Amino acid sequence: MPSASASSLASILLRREILELHAYHVPDSTGYVKLDAMENPYRLPRVLCDEIAEAVASVAINRYPDPAAASLKEKIRDVIGLPPEMDILLGNGSDELIQLLAMALNKPGATLLGVEPSFVMYRMIATFVGMRYVGVPLGVDFSLDLPRILVAIKREQPALVFLAYPNNPTGNLFSAEAVAQIIEASPGLVVVDEAYYAFASDSFLPRLAHYPNLLVMRTFSKLGMAGLRLGFLAGSTAWLGQLEKLRLPYNVGVLPQLVAEKLLEHHDVLLRQAEQIKLDRANLYRQLGEIAAVQVYPSEANFLLFRIANATSVFDGLKQRGVLIKNLNGGHPMLQGCLRVTVGTPEESGQFMAALQESLCHE
Ligand code: PMP
């Protein structure tokens, strides 16, 4: 039995990168108007809730889930119109798929390349699995700096590239032409992360067959199923058949499988909500644009990024008034003075705007 304390043992035994890591912080949102995590603010119609409750009541929860989730996969194929030669791989949220990809491609010395600022989990997961990470800065307007990225690809020869399309936290949709050039120039696998596809005007899903090094990743989190934890990769069976070996056998539980399937039978309900969120986004964009102190960025996602003087004190002011958004100030230098707000219901956006106006008056 070692005599050292648990904390000294942990600091001796754990990898240095893990000891230096700051955990992904999720604040307690109890009681707040919750506009920090890009959730769909709309609830399901009552009849659909009842239908789900009935199905859940008769589920065999004493049994492991179908490890292949065959029925759910079939439904997803239908809904997204996946060609027969393509396959899908399910994840417990798309975060899990990012991890699976990093584990699979992390040969000794391999590099994961992302752009910055973008989704922080690409870098964090590279650290989790001990993979080298290279971040290439975006242009000042948050567009892809193609010449710089192409130079980085040539120099670094990344095994894995992640591009969020639309990007988080900036909200913009990169040029499809630039993304295509990155895919063509990449010696490794390129994953186009379409977490916000439901709110965007373009997708790389129809282009999967053109590129042998392309996979498209999606999540149902932003479409109204954040609580289920369900994401998927779409691409050729040659890739997904290999990656499938790394998927833990029961990574998607009985309840998420069942509920997601039911919801996808009513995909039209979710799509109508997404359309409503796009209208809500346009209204919120206009209202934010009317405040002289605010610089709001165009978005094809279900959130808006805006820049404001004294961002952290504005963020605190909103919180004191019961509205929780995301403070990006103090993180990436290009996000100095930036805050990110999820598009809520018109009522929630009204509460946010009122709290923002009040906070600005007290600046
Ligand atoms: N990709 C992007 C670009 C995201 O913004 C997020 C969530 N914030 C995810 C992936 C992960 O989503 P989930 O794990 O809920 O599927």
| Predicted confidence pLDDT, tens digits, the chain (363 residues) | 567 899 999 999 999 999 998 887 888 999 999 999 999 999 999 999 999 999 999 999 999 999 999 999 999 999 999 998 899 999 999 999 999 999 999 999 999 999 999 999 999 999 999 999 999 999 999 999 999 999 999 999 999 999 999 999 999 999 999 999 999 999 999 999 999 999 999 999 999 999 999 999 999 999 999 999 999 999 999 999 999 999 999 999 999 999 999 999 999 999 999 999 999 999 999 999 999 999 999 999 999 999 999 999 999 999 999 999 999 999 999 999 999 999 999 999 999 999 999 999 877
Among 207, 181, 182, 203, which Cα is nearest to 194's? 203
CATH number of 15-38+268-361: 3.90.1150.10
Token pair recorded at residue 241: 């058949």
Q: Which of 35, 89, 98, 119 to mutate to test the pocket of ligand 1 (most atoms within 8 A of CB)?
A: 119
CB 166 within 8 A of CB 300: yes
Q: Which of 36, 121, 204, 229 to mutate to test the pocket of ligand 1 (most atoms within 8 A of CB)?
A: 121
Give, in order, the Cα–Cα distances in Å from 33 to each of 214, 339, 340, 351, 358: 38, 16, 14, 8, 16
Q: Beta strands 323-324 and 33-34: pairing type?
A: parallel
Q: Beta strands 111-116 and 214-219: pairing type?
A: unpaired
Q: List ligand 1's pocket residues with C-beta within 6 A.
A: 38, 93-95, 119, 164, 168, 193, 195, 219, 221, 231
- At which residue do the structure tokens 């805006």 appear? 306
pLDDT reported for residue 26: 86
**Cα of 98 from ligand 1 centre, angstroms:** 9
pLDDT reported for residue 3: 73
> Which residues are 234's β-sheet partners?
88, 216
CA dihedral sign, ordered 14, 20, 26, 27? positive
> Which residues are 113's β-sheet partners?
134, 161
Q: Residue 177: which residues within 8 A CB-CB, separation 6 or more? A: none
**Cα of 303 from ligand 1 centre, angstroms:** 13
pLDDT reported for residue 353: 98
Query: Using the 8-state DSSP alphabet, how is residue 143 labeled?
Result: -
Token pair recorded at residue 4: 């050292």
pLDDT reported for residue 1: 56
50-59, long-range: CB within 8 Å, 24+ apart, which pairs? 51/262, 52/259, 52/262, 52/263, 55/258, 55/259, 55/262, 56/255, 56/258, 56/259, 59/254, 59/255, 59/258
Fold of 60-265: Aspartate Aminotransferase; domain 2 (3.40.640)
CB 306 within 8 A of CB 294: yes
pLDDT reported for residue 2: 61
CA dihedral sign, ordered 92, 217, 206, 87? negative
Cα distance between the two ends of the chain: 58
pLDDT reported for residue 27: 87
Token pair recorded at residue 326: 């995301």
**Cα of 171 from ligand 1 centre, angstroms:** 13
Single-letter amino acid, residue 204? F
CA 126/CA 18 separation, integer angstroms: 11
CB 175 within 8 A of CB 143: yes
Q: Where are the domains of the chain?
A: 15-38+268-361, 60-265
Nearest-CA residue for ligand 1 atom 5 is: 168
pLDDT reported for residue 220: 95
Token pair recorded at residue 105: 């491609």
Q: Which of 221, 326, 342 to mutate to test the pocket of ligand 1 (most atoms within 8 A of CB)?
A: 221
